[in-house]
Amino acid sequence: MIITSNVTKNYGAACVVDGVSLQLPQGGITSIIGPNGAGKSTLLSMVSRLMAMDMGTVTVGGLDVTKAPSDELARRLSILRQDNHMTARLTVRDLVAFGRYPHSRGRLTLDDKVHIDRAIDYLDLGLLADRFLDELSGGQRQRAFVAMVLAQDTDYLLLDEPLNNLDMKHAMGMMKLMRQAADDLGKTVVLVLHDINFASWYSDHIVAMKHGKVAAQGAASAMIRPDVLSGIYEMDIKVHEIGGQLISVYYG
Amino acid sequence: MQRDLDTRPHPEPVAGRGRGPEAATSPTSRFDRLTMRSSRPALVLIGLALLAVISIVLFMTLGAKGSWSFVLSFRGKKLLGLLLVAYSVAVSTVLFQTVTNNRILTPSIMGFDALYVLIKTALVFFLGVGALVSLDSQVQFLVEVLVMIGFSGILFRWLFLGEERSLHLLVLVGIIFGVLFRSLSQFMQRMLDPGAFNVLQDTLFASFATTDPTLLGISCIIVVAVSLVGLRLMHTYDVLSLGRAQAINLGVDYKRVVVIILSMVAVLVSVSTALVGPVTFFGLLVATLAHSLVGNSKHRYVLPAAILLAIVALVGGQTLLERVFAFDTALSIIIEFLGGIVFIALVLRRSAR
């Protein structure tokens, strides 16, 4: 369970995350949605200790993220941000192998190799495993980073816009993979998503943020409703049921 | 996308569940590429080690006249000085670039060595020339190194510990710090009385041809101590090169490790600046070459490659200039010239992207 209480972040005078208190359930997929600048990524950064909060506390699986040892947290919780700029020149396999660092400190064991190969397979990167990251397209690189956090094999997976740069097929594959991680491996997956239809189709729980606060939250079926969504995005959004799934239409 | 261009008929595995797609590629070409890529760093290291040994042997023996015992001990001291400088500059630059996650900035460009000169000048200025003369030069050096760690800690901590900052901001801050430190030193040097200034200038006036021999012993000890600390952190370097967010995600105690590494950098810069004075672009030249020769970013290859390159450049360069061309002090000019060109090329290539 991820519990945030009264988490606040200010940039100068602007309050980006304003006293957010949330309890994200153990297991399943939780999607955080909301308009640009709602504070979704900032919240995720604070939950994953990448950013210091001005106020409040966050516990992940009972560990206070600002106090617990970083290496212990790294075996519990993994985070992937949108922007993964780095200067290091690595192959896909090298990058994925870094996911095992919290477990083996850079000396790969046989067990690590199994995890690495499995993560590479899961993300369909077998053909690219020995290519350098700077030789790949944005979407392929994105998948390599996801493979790395999968290899990290943590109970909690936090991903900030994991569908960035992915084509339809790989976006669908990514969400299926998250579903599989939640259902088969019992992971708790938290995603920041912009595509509310992906959120509707794949998540158990949706949290909507607006102006740094939680605007609404609940089961996916309760959240994907015209009145709720229109209020959050301040636009006209229609919801249709197609093949048992709630699909939003908002194209004009 | 390689797979999209691949026209051979093989079943497309479902995204996210693909099993063993390797079977579809031709195994030999993959094998060749793998072996070529994995043996390249080792070959580079062997080649550089050979070149370094040749440079050292030539430096010690070429054009020697008279008693060998004198020649060897005289040149041995010079050689030790050059080796210490090569090692310090190479290691400090590579680690600094790793910690700051960039390939353009080096400790010297950020004004670390100007800070060392400033500290030395300030000691004379405030304590008087008596302190400089009466204090044992090794004790004095230790004091300077400690002050250096403290100051660089305060100055550079806020720059590198928080959220990642833009490279442009860092370059500007570095240039401004460098100019500030240099002009403060010059200002204080002008205010000194001529006698004190003479003594100070004597200690600041070092070059590749005339390394300061009194500090060799203590420098050796310091460099070994720093290297031992560095070896213990060896496993974090590759992780740090993924950037701050990934390093924290993977459980590196980021603040602690970065502070330790920046202190190591400060000490190593002090050593090299005390021995040969400030060199701005040498570290950049060596680190850039090491990265591109090795071809990947693993520190267990890049660090030794940078050290060996620095040894080849300093010892080999000095041998060439002193023994073959009979110039004397021009090595720093040549190295700075080449390093400066690399710096400009890097900045241009970056802005072109």
Chain A residues close to B163, C-beta within 8 Å = 51
Q: Are the C-beta atoms of residues B233 and B91 closer than 8 Å to each other?
A: no
Given a cut of 90, whether residue B338 has pLDDT beyond it is no
**Nearest CB neighbour to A70, from listed B242, B252, B297:** B252
Closest to A121 (Cα-Cα) out of B249, B23, B37: B23
CA distance A252 to chain B (A): 31
Query: The tokens of A96 are what?
Result: 């994925």
Does the distance separating the beta carbons of B1 and A127 come in below 8 Å? no
The pLDDT tens digits for A66-123 are 899 988 999 999 999 887 777 788 899 999 999 999 998 878 888 889 989 989 988 8
pLDDT band at B12 (very low <50, low <70, confident <90, very high): very low
Predicted confidence at residue B123, as pLDDT, reads 82
Cα A211 from Cα A2, distance rounded (Å): 21
According to the model, what pLDDT value does residue A160 have? Answer: 92
A74 to B251: CB separation less than 8 angstroms, yes or no: yes
Query: For residue A241, what are the β-bridge partners?
Result: A246
pLDDT at residue number B351: 58
* Residue A238 confidence (pLDDT) above 70: yes
Record: fold of A2-76+154-249: Rossmann fold (3.40.50)
Return the pLDDT at B7. Answer: 38
**How far is residue B20's CA from residue B11's CA, in Å, rounded to a whole number?**
11
Residues on chain A touching B250 (C-beta within 8 angstroms): 74, 98-99, 101-102, 152
**pLDDT digit string (tens) for A26-52?**
889 999 999 998 989 999 999 999 888
Q: What are the tens digits of pLDDT across the range B103-134?
A: 888 888 888 888 888 888 888 888 777 766 67
Mutation for testing the A interface, residue in B98, B246, B301 having most A CBs under 10 Å: B246
Neighboring chain A residues of B20 at a CB cutoff of 8 Å: 121, 126
Task: Give the domains, in start order, of chain B with CATH numbers.
Answer: 84-352 (1.10.3470.10)
pLDDT score at B6: 39
pLDDT of residue A233 exceeding 70, the answer is: yes
Q: Which residues in B250-275 are b (16+ Cβ under 10 Å) and which e?
A: bbbebeebbbbbbbbbbbbbbbbbbb
What's the rounded mean pLDDT across residues B302-310?
A: 94
pLDDT of residue B165: 66
The pTM of this model reads 0.83
Contacts of B168 (CB under 8 A, 6+ apart): none
> Is A176 within 8 Å of B16 when comparing Cβ atoms?
yes
Cα separation, A101 vs A82, in Å, equals 21
CA of B165, closest CA in chain A: separation in Å? 12
ipTM: 0.89
Check whether B89 has a pLDDT greater than 90. Answer: yes
CA–CA separation, A248 vs B16, rounded Å?
Answer: 25
**Do A191 and A82 form a contact (C-beta atoms < 8 A)?**
no
Q: What residue of A is the nearest CA neighbor of B241? A: A88
Q: Is the pLDDT of residue B209 over 80?
A: no
Write out chain A residues lying below 8 Å of B254, CB-based.
Answer: 70
**Cβ contact, residue pair B1, A105, below 8 Å:** no
Q: Rounded to whole angstroms, how far apart are CA atoms B338 and B280?
A: 11
Closest A-chain CA to B13: A124
Can you give the pLDDT at residue B32? 47
**pLDDT surpasses 80 at A11:** yes
Query: Mind giving me the DSSP string for B173-229?
Result: HHHHHHHHHHHHHHHHHHHS-HHHHHHHHHHH---SSS--GGGHHHHHHHHHHHHHH
| pLDDT tens profile B211-250 | 677 788 888 999 999 999 999 999 899 999 888 888 999 9
Q: Is A108 on the interface with B (CB under 8 A)?
A: no
First to last CA, chain B: 21
pLDDT at A227 over 50: yes
Give, in degrees to the nearest 5, the angle at Cα B237 between B233 and B239. 120
Please tell me which residue, B183 or B4, carries the higher pLDDT value. B183
Q: What is the domain partition of chain A in residue ranges?
A: 2-76+154-249, 85-153
Give the dihedral sign, CA B180/B160/A90/A84: negative
Q: Is A10 on the interface with B (CB under 8 A)?
A: no
In this prediction, what percent of chain B has a pLDDT beyond 70? 80
Q: Strand A14-24: give its sheet, edge to edge.
A: A14-24, A2-11, A55-60, A63-64
Q: What does the pLDDT read at residue B328?
A: 60
pLDDT tens-digit series, residues B13-70: 444 333 344 344 444 444 445 545 568 888 889 999 999 999 899 888 887 777 888 8
pLDDT bucket at A179, cuts 50 / 70 / 90? very high
Residue range B249-288, pLDDT digits in tens: 999 988 889 889 988 988 998 888 888 877 878 898 899 8
pLDDT digits (tens, 9 = 90+) for B97-106: 898 888 888 8
Residue A58 has pLDDT above 90, yes or no: yes
Beta strands in chain A (DSSP E): 2-11, 14-24, 28-33, 55-60, 63-64, 77-80, 156-160, 188-192, 205-210, 213-219, 238-242, 245-249
CB contacts < 8 A, A to B, total: 128
pLDDT band at B329 (very low <50, low <70, confident <90, very high): low
Do residues B340 and B281 touch, judged by C-beta distance below 8 A? yes
Structure tokens at B288: 């850039």
